[in-house]
Structure 1
Amino acid sequence: MTNMTCVAGGNDDFQLVTHLTVTGSQFEIGRVLTEEARRLGWSPRAADPAVNRARMSWFERNWPQHHARLDGAAAALGLDPDQDDLALDGWNRVPEGSACSGLWCPPSASADGHGRVGRNYDFFVSTASEIRGRQPRPDELPMGARPYVITTVPDDGLASTVITMDDLDGCMDGMNEAGLTVMLLLADVENAAPPAHTAPQVGLGSTQLPRFLLDTCETAAQAKQALLAAKQYDHGLLLHYLVADAHGQAFVWERGRDGSEHAVEFGDGPLCVTNHLLHRHPDPTDLPADTTPSLGTYGRLRTLYERSKGVTLSGLDLRDLLRAVRPDEDPGAPFRTLWTTVFDTADRTLATRFYLGDGRDYSGELVFPASAR
């Protein structure tokens, strides 16, 4: 069963937000998502056959849900699922300079005992061509203008709801029916540069990683073990990931440029994350001053930490704190918070406001269940 509705914005607003719900087998979910991606202009990319065979084998062993969805993609495209020269999933792309803020408030620091994760998804309001220094194509929309909320309810597996900007087989953040929440943020903003190449590799691409955890894990402990065992690649643009569960556990997953892996935790208190590597700056009270390349990452984390340290936060308090670190509507600034989401791990819900344009404020808060069962 498939249902698609417009839930926020319109053609005259910056964003027009679609909520797509798909119920059925993983094969059917893959077929529907591929058909929607094709409608948006996506097509499969040529791939190195040896690499693609290895990719499919890795998915089959480690992420069977995605492997089954790729069989559905092949059916939607009228292709042989064993064909090796085309990659049937999307490539993962986060252009230079995105900047986001996130905060985990555990049950012990929450006014009602609900664990919550809040996030601002800050991104360009430009087209992909403009980001690359070119003139926009006729009728080319800004990259973040058509986000999707996607709820998948598989016959055999964890249901989830995710928010994605332009990648229908990955996501920027989401929650599954077990209450596991995952979100991605740029990790090393001061050294960010456009990826040198974007060919798919074996393992998990940047925006596939949150979807992989939501498909395969129910707790933060399971997610940590899955990440330690999984091949990952990012094309040189480092991201990190805030992972939290319904049992009050959370960590930030980071990979250094030297290939090192880090699961950063912060005891029982709130865990703040912006756009610098936490394992390099573990003390939130001892951060460098911001510079132009840092895009305010240190100041935003100071604000989050100082206003959450040692206090009890309500859901409204968390929303106010996210608003305090939201970029101003400065005509000269390239970023806006395209959406703000508060994930309630107890209620298993996502409450989101979407950016409609300067001077138009944000949409009313929309509440999505992690599962439509």
Structure 2
Amino acid sequence: MNITQVAGGRNDFQLVRHMTLRGGQIEIGRQVTEEALRLGWTPPLSDPTVNRARRTWFERHWPQHHARMDGAAAALGLDPDQDEVALDTLAYVPAGSGCSALWCPPSAATDGHGRVGRNYDFFTMTTGEIMGGTPGPGELPMASRPYVITTVPEEGLASTVITMSELDGCMDGINEAGLAVMLLIADFETAAPPEEAGPQVGLASVQLPRFLVDTCENVEQAKQALLGAKHYDYGMPLHYLVADAHGGAFVWERGKDGTEHIIEVGDGPLCVTNHLLHRNPDPMNLPEDSEVSFGTFGRLRTLYERSKGATMSPRDLRESLREVAVGKDPAMPWRTVWSTVFDTHDRTLSTRFYLGDGADELRYTEELVFTARPGTPA
């Protein structure tokens, strides 16, 4: 395991670390668990019956994660077959976000590269403040210590992901096959605080992107994997934009009745923010935003109007992201804490991280480029 500090510092809002993991999946699981323990993680208690079923499900459907759980057991000095505690969900802050994303297919790009741009918008407060209290002693803002994690297994797909909340999950990710995945809140107006139900059988919200970059090479494989998987959201419904190196893309989301929806737009741009697309399919016929909708409809209209019928350069895509980013407003407790452009052709993600509010505008890092292809320079 190699960990380097790649952006920010202790006097900035964010301090970003890049962790590179190599070896077999068991060894990778041990390494990532050791870092989680350093951050203060402890394995949560779990219902033994549920935990046994969770391990069985992972073994059958996500063997990479199952092997990493064995590595977690080794790091903890536990029997991997014990049923009393969950050996994953390596959380060090809660999850959830309000974000914007735009897929530009190869046919609509000036250089023929498919790209996804996304803003990750999140609170600049601590967990205690978000819950209506005061910060604990030494408590840092929830989004202040993100990780970029590059995983190079001995067998299987290498990948690079960004996470702010769980070292065995992610918010953004791309693998060496060019499959890119990102999560967004699916229905901001009805989002509720996460439930305290504990880990369930199947995929948690932030495990789902990692599951796809571990197991799938293109959008058709990803559709089948999602339709065949169990998943749960802790009361915070999310949806996901998935794109590949061949020009395919879709948004996956669930309705309130549990129905699963795959939204595609053919060979054209695909925009997604924080409302359910299957309930609002026409970008030009969206409701007006309310006080609690976080501008989701307006942001999507802006992205759609900037991209429809256009041939977009990499600069055009980045300018579109800036157009819908959260600006400097002392009254607003959130910012665009990172902004990422995925190049599915080059298998890279390029990210700017938020450092704080400057005198006139927000401060960001220079764009950092990470590759998902081992041995290939970014």
Does 2:62 correspond to 1:60? no
CA distance in 2, matches of 1:91, 1:73: 10
The match for 2:288 is 289
8 Å CA contact retained: 1:95, 1:194: no
The match for 1:277 is 276
CA distance in 2, matches of 1:168, 1:292: 33
- Give the secondary structure class of the aligned counterpart of 2:357: coil
The match for 2:113 is 114
TM-score (norm 1): 0.98
Q: Which moved more, 1:359-368 or 1:311-320?
A: 359-368
Q: Aligned letter for 1:8?
A: A
TM-score (norm 2): 0.97
The match for 2:37 is 38
The match for 2:367 is 365
The match for 2:154 is 155
- Give the secondary structure class of the aligned counterpart of 1:231: coil
- Give the secondary structure class of the aligned counterpart of 1:356: strand
- Give the secondary structure class of the aligned counterpart of 1:190: helix
The one-character-per-residue Cα deviations of 1:116-153 (angstroms, maximum 9, x if unpaired) are 00000000000011111111101100000000000000
Deviation at 1:372, TM superposition (A): 2.4
8 Å CA contact retained: 2:95, 2:206: no
Q: Percent same amino acid among aligned pairs?
A: 70
8 Å CA contact retained: 2:202, 2:231: yes
Deviation at 1:371, TM superposition (A): 2.6
- Give the secondary structure class of the aligned counterpart of 1:59: helix
8 Å CA contact retained: 1:103, 1:304: yes
Q: Which moved more, 1:87-96 or 1:297-306?
A: 87-96
Q: Aligned letter for 1:342?
A: V
8 Å CA contact retained: 1:15, 1:356: yes
The match for 2:229 is 230
Q: Aligned letter for 2:340?
A: T
8 Å CA contact retained: 1:91, 1:198: no
The match for 2:303 is 304
The one-character-per-residue Cα deviations of 1:173-210 (angstroms, maximum 9, x if unpaired) are 11000000000000000111112324100000000000
Q: Aligned letter for 2:244?
A: D
Consecutive unaligned residues in structure 1, runs of 5 or more:
none
CA distance in 1, matches of 2:11, 2:221: 43
The one-character-per-residue Cα deviations of 1:207-266 (angstroms, maximum 9, x if unpaired) are 000000000000000000000000011122110000000000000000112101000001
- Give the secondary structure class of the aligned counterpart of 2:199: coil
CA distance in 2, matches of 1:338, 1:327: 9
CA distance in 2, matches of 1:370, 1:196: 34
CA distance in 2, matches of 1:329, 1:147: 21
The match for 2:333 is 334
CA distance in 2, matches of 1:95, 1:210: 13
The one-character-per-residue Cα deviations of 1:79-98 (angstroms, maximum 9, x if unpaired) are 000000100111778566x3
Q: Aligned letter for 2:286?
A: L
The match for 1:75 is 74
Q: Aligned letter for 2:152?
A: V
The one-character-per-residue Cα deviations of 1:293-329 (angstroms, maximum 9, x if unpaired) are 1000000000000000000000011000000000111
Inter-CA distance 152–182: structure 2 relative to 1 (3 Å threshold)? same
CA distance in 2, matches of 1:15, 1:4: 16
Q: CA RMSD in A?
A: 1.1
Inter-CA distance 332–41: structure 2 relative to 1 (3 Å threshold)? same
- Give the secondary structure class of the aligned counterpart of 2:256: coil
- Give the secondary structure class of the aligned counterpart of 1:101: strand
Does 2:127 correspond to 1:125? no
- Give the secondary structure class of the aligned counterpart of 1:178: coil
CA distance in 2, matches of 1:95, 1:286: 31
CA distance in 1, matches of 2:50, 2:216: 26
- Give the secondary structure class of the aligned counterpart of 2:26: helix
Consecutive unaligned residues in structure 2, runs of 5 or more:
none
- Give the secondary structure class of the aligned counterpart of 1:225: helix
The match for 1:174 is 173
- Give the secondary structure class of the aligned counterpart of 1:361: strand
- Give the secondary structure class of the aligned counterpart of 2:292: helix
